[in-house]
C-alpha cells in the first residue's frame, strides 16, 4: 500500500509541476512585449515571475480537478466490483475482484479504543492453486482486518 501511495503522490506532484511549467510558458508566450503599448510592458525577466505565480494557482486547481476525476473513476469501478461480487459473478483470472461475506464473531467482541464501537477482527487469505502434473496451493496474500460490528444479533 505504501508503494502505491508514493507513486500516486509522485504522479500528482509531476502533474502539478508540469502544468506549472506549461502554463508559465503559455502565459509568457501569449503576452509578448509590445513596444507600442502605453504604458510599455515590462521586459521578459519581469513578466516570468508574474506568469509563474498565476500558473501556480491555476496548476493547483487543475491538479485538484484531475485528482477528483481520478477518484470518481476509482469509486465507480470499485462500486461495480462490489456489485458483481454481490450478484455472484465468478471472478476472472488476473482481474481485480471484490469478495463479500458475513463475519461471525466466535469469541468476545472487541471495542474500538477511542469510539468504543464493537468490532470484529478477522484473518483473510487468498490462495492460489496451480494445476498441472502436480497441484500446489500457495498463499498469495493474507492479513488481519478490523471491521465494525453492525448487528448485535448472533446468527442461529
Tell me the pLDDT band of 18, cut-offs 50, 70 and 90. Answer: very high
- Portion of the chain with pLDDT greater than 90, in percent: 18
3-class secondary-structure state, position 109: coil
Q: What is the DSSP-derived secondary structure letter of residue 25?
A: H
Question: What average pLDDT does the structure give for the chain?
Answer: 81
Rounded CA separation 108/6 (Å):
38
Length of the chain: 156
- Residue ranges covered by each domain of the chain: 2-86, 110-148
C-alpha cell at 94: 488476473
8 Å CB contact between 56 and 20:
yes
Q: pLDDT tens, 46-84?
A: 778 888 888 999 999 999 999 999 999 999 999 998 888
| pLDDT for res 125 | 82
| pLDDT for res 156 | 46
Burial level of 110, CB count in 10 A (0-12/13-18/19+)? middle
Amino acid at each position: 500500500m505504501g508503494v502505491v501511495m508514493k507513486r500516486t503522490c509522485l504522479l500528482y506532484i509531476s502533474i502539478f509541476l508540469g502544468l506549472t511549467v506549461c502554463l508559465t510558458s503559455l502565459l509568457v508566450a501569449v503576452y509578448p512585449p509590445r513596444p507600442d503599448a502605453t504604458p510599455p510592458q515590462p521586459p521578459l525577466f519581469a513578466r516570468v515571475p508574474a506568469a509563474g505565480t498565476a500558473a501556480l494557482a491555476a496548476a493547483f486547481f487543475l491538479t485538484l480537478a484531475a485528482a477528483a476525476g481520478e477518484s470518481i473513476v476509482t469509486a465507480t469501478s470499485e462500486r461495480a466490483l462490489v456489485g458483481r461480487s454481490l450478484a455472484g459473478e465468478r471472478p476472472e483470472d488476473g482481474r481485480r475482484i471484490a469478495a463479500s461475506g458475513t463475519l461471525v464473531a466466535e469469541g468476545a467482541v472487541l471495542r474500538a479504543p477511542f469510539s468504543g464501537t464493537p468490532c470484529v477482527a478477522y484473518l483473510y487469505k487468498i490462495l492460489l492453486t496451480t494445476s498441472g502434473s502436480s497441484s500446489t496451493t500457495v498463499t498469495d496474500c493474507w492479513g488481519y482486518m478490523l471491521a465494525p460490528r453492525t448487528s448485535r444479533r448472533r446468527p442461529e
